[in-house]
Chains A and B, each alone.
Chain A
Amino acid sequence: MSTRWRMARRFVRISMVAAALCALQPAWAQVDERAMKAALLFNFLQFTQWPIPPDEPFRLCVLGRTPLDEHLARLEGKLVLGDRRISVRHVELQGPLAQCHALYLDESQRDRADEMLRRLGNAPVLTITDADGLADRGLMIEIRKRDLKLGFDVNLGTARRANIGFSSRMLKMASYVSSGPL
Chain B
Amino acid sequence: MGAGRTALRVLLAAIALAALGPAPQAAPLEDLTTLPFEQLLGSEVTDAAQFARRITDAASAVSVVTAQDIRDHGVRTLSEALDLMRGLHMTYVGYAFLGERGFGGRAGFAGRVMLFIDGIPAVDNLYDQVFLTHDALIDVALIDRIEYAPGSGSALYGNNAYLGVINIVTKRGRDLDGLQAQVSGASWRDQGTRASWGRRLGDEAEVLLSATRQRDNGIAVADAGRNVTDPAVGAQSEQFFVKARWGRLDVQGMLAQRYVLDRRDASSHDDHMDRNQVLSLNHDVPLNDEWTLGTRLTLGQYGFRSNSETETDSFAVRQDGVWWQLDQRLAFSGQRHRLALGFQARRDPVLRDLDTFVSKEDGSTSTGSWYEHRRAVGVSIEDEFRWRPQWRVTVGARWDHRSASPSAVSPRLALVWAPPEGPWSAKLSQGRATRFASATERMFADGESRPLEHVTTQELVGEYRRDGLRALTSLYRYRTTQLISDAFAYGAVRAEGIETELEWQWEGWRVRASHAWQHARATSGLPMVQSPDRVGKLQVSAPLGSERWRLSLSARTTGTLSMPAEDDSLIRMPATAVLDLTLVARSLMPGVDVRWGVRNATGSRTQAMRQFDAQPGGASMARQWWCDLVWSLR
B588→A149 contact, CB < 8 A: no
Report if A74-B587 is in contact (Cβ < 8 Å); known contacts: A173-B38, A176-B174: no
* A176 partner residues in chain B, CB cutoff 8 A: 174, 200
Give the nearest-CB partner of B47 in chain A. A33
Is A22 in contact with chain B by the CB < 8 A criterion? yes
Among A24-62, those with CB < 8 Å from B are 24, 26-36, 38-40, 42-43, 47
CB distance from B182 to the nearest CB of A (A): 14
The stretch of B7-15, B98-106, B482-490 in contact with A is B7-15
Q: Find residues 1-36 in chain A having any chain B CB closer than 8 Å to their own CB.
A: 2, 4-5, 8-9, 11-13, 15-20, 22-24, 26-36
Q: Is the CB of B14 within 8 A of A36?
A: no
Which of B33, B50, B587 has the most chain A CB within a 10 Å cutoff? B33
B45 & A150 in contact (Cβ 8 Å cutoff): yes
User: Knowing A32-B45, A67-B49 touch, does A27 contact B335 (C-beta < 8 A)?
Assistant: no
Q: Complex: how many Å from CA A20 to CA B333?
A: 54
Contact residue among B203, B587, B594 (Cβ-Cβ distance under 8 Å from A148): B587
Q: Please determine whether B14 and A16 come into contact, CB atoms closer than 8 angstroms.
A: yes
Given contacts A31-B45, A110-B53, A179-B203, contact A23 B546 (CB under 8 A): no
Is B548 among interface residues, defined by CB-CB distance under 8 A? yes
Q: How far is the CB of A25 from chain B (nearest CB, A)?
A: 8
Distance in angstroms from B384 CB to nearest chain A CB is: 11
Contact check, A12 vs B248: say whether CB atoms are below 8 A apart. no
* Contact with B37, one of A18, A24, A43, A118 (Cβ below 8 angstroms): A43
Give how many A residues have a beta carbon under 8 Å from the other chain's beta carbons. Answer: 63
Closest A residue, CB atoms, query B8: A16
Chain B, range 28-87, C-beta contacts under 8 Å to A: 28-30, 32-33, 35, 37-38, 40-50, 53
Tell me whether B191 is interfacial, beta carbon within 8 Å.
yes
Answer whether A27 and B21 are a contact pair too, CB < 8 Å, given A20-B13, A39-B40.
yes
Query: Taking the complex as formed, is A64 at the interface, i.e. its CB lies under 8 A from any CB of chain B?
Result: yes
Q: Is A165's CB within 8 Å of the partner chain B?
A: no
Output the nearest chain A residue to B41 by Cβ-Cβ distance. Answer: A173
In-complex Cβ contact of B33 among A4, A34, A78, A148 (8 A):
A78
Query: When chains A and B are docked, how far (Å) is the Cα of A46 from the Cα of B13?
Result: 47
Contact A36 B45 (CB under 8 A): yes
Chain A residues within an 8 Å CB radius of B174: 176
Residues from chain A with Cβ under 8 Å of B248 in the complex = 182
Q: Does B574 contact A (CB under 8 A)?
A: no
B361 in contact (CB, < 8 A)? no
Tally of B interface residues using CB under 8 Å: 72
Given the interface contacts A22-B588, A114-B333, does A31 sit within 8 Å of B43 by beta carbon?
yes
| Interface residue A161 (Cβ < 8 Å from any Cβ of B) | no
Indicate if the CB atoms of B45 and A30 lie closer than 8 Å: yes
In the complex, the answer to whether A16 meets B596 with C-beta atoms within 8 Å is yes
Check A180/B21 contact, CB under 8 A, given A39-B29, A147-B587, A173-B38: no
Check B596–A19 contact: CB distance below 8 A. yes
Taking CB atoms, residues of chain B closer than 8 Å to A12 are: 3, 7, 185, 596, 625-627
Shortest beta-carbon distance from B234 to chain A in Å: 11
A81 CB-CB contact with B under 8 Å: no
Instruction: Find out whether the CB atom of A8 lies under 8 angstroms from the CB atom of B191.
Output: yes
Q: Which residues of B contact A178 (CB under 8 A)?
A: 203
Instruction: Determine how close the nearest CB of chain A comes to the CB of B277; give it in whole angstroms.
Output: 28
CA distance A110 to B186 in the complex (A): 41
Chain B contacts for A32, CB-based, 8 A? 26, 45-46, 48
Q: Which residues of A contact B626 (CB under 8 A)?
A: 12
B629–A15 CB distance below 8 A: yes
Do B29 and A71 touch across chains, with their CB atoms under 8 A apart? Answer: yes
Assess whether A182 is in contact with B14, with CB atoms less than 8 Å apart.
no
B8–chain A nearest beta-carbon distance, Å: 9
Chain A residues positioned under 8 Å from B586 (CB to CB): 147-148
What residues of chain A lie closer than 8 Å to B26, measured between beta carbons? 30-32, 35
Shortest beta-carbon distance from B346 to chain A in Å: 29
Contact across chains for B24 and A30 when beta carbons are under 8 A apart: yes
Q: Which residues on B sit within 8 Å (CB–CB) of A26?
A: 21-22
The answer to whether A149 touches B37, judged by C-beta atoms less than 8 angstroms apart, is no
Bound-complex Cα distance A180 to B32 (A): 30
For A115, the chain B residues whose CB sits under 8 A away are 335
Bound: A119/B458 CA distance, A? 38
Q: What are the residues of chain B within 8 A of A98 when measuring CB–CB?
A: none
Are A5 and B32 within 8 A (Cβ)? no
B362 contacts the other chain (CB 8 A): no
- Given A35-B32, A39-B35, A179-B203, answer yes or no on A148-B548 (Cβ-Cβ < 8 Å): yes
Within 8 A of A (CB), among B117-140: none
Q: Are B10 and A13 in contact (CB under 8 A)?
A: yes
Bound-complex Cα distance A64 to B35 (A): 28
Known: A2-B231, A30-B25, A31-B26. A11 touches B185 (CB 8 A): yes
Q: In the complex, what residues of A have CB within 8 A of residue B45's CB?
A: 30-33, 36, 145, 148-150
Pick from B11, B25, B333: contact of A31, CB below 8 A.
B25
Alpha-carbon gap, A12 to B549, bound state (A)? 18
- Which of chain B's residues have a CB closer than 8 A to the CB of A34? 48
Given contacts A12-B627, A150-B45, contact A31 B32 (CB under 8 A): yes
Is there contact, CB below 8 Å, between B44 and A15? no
B contact residues around A24 at 8 Å (CB): 17
Question: Are B24 and A118 in contact, CB atoms less than 8 angstroms apart?
Answer: no
Across the interface, name the chain A residue whose C-beta is closest to B25.
Answer: A29
How far, in whole Å, are A110 and B48 apart by their CA atoms in the complex?
18
- Complex: how many Å from CA A146 to CA B174? 10
Q: Known contacts A149-B44, A182-B248: does B29 contact A47 (CB below 8 Å)?
A: no
B368 within 8 Å of A (CB atoms): no
A47–B583 Cα distance when bound, in Å, is: 41
Give the residues in chain A near B587, CB-CB below 8 Å: 147-148
Give complex CA distance A24, B19 in Å: 10
Bound complex: CA A180 to CA B247 (Å): 12
Q: Mark A82-93, 1 if CB is under 8 A from B, else 0.
A: 000000000010
**Interface check B265, CB cutoff 8 A:** no
Q: Which residues from 224 to 278 on chain B have a C-beta closer than 8 Å to any C-beta of chain A?
A: 231, 247-248
Q: Which 10 pairs of residues, A with B, have the shortest CB-CB distance?
A: A39-B32, A33-B48, A27-B21, A23-B17, A27-B545, A16-B10, A8-B185, A33-B45, A148-B44, A20-B14
Interface residues of B (CB under 8 A from A): 3, 6-7, 10-11, 13-14, 17-18, 21-30, 32-33, 35, 37-38, 40-50, 53, 174, 177, 185-187, 189, 191, 200, 203-204, 231, 247-248, 289, 333, 335, 420-422, 467, 545-549, 583, 585-588, 594, 596, 625-627, 629
6 pairs, CB–CB < 8 Å, chain A vs chain B: A5-B189, A12-B185, A30-B24, A31-B25, A31-B32, A147-B586
Given A5-B189, A40-B41, list of 12 further CB < 8 A pairs?
A8-B187, A11-B627, A12-B626, A17-B10, A19-B14, A23-B17, A28-B24, A29-B27, A30-B26, A30-B45, A31-B25, A38-B32
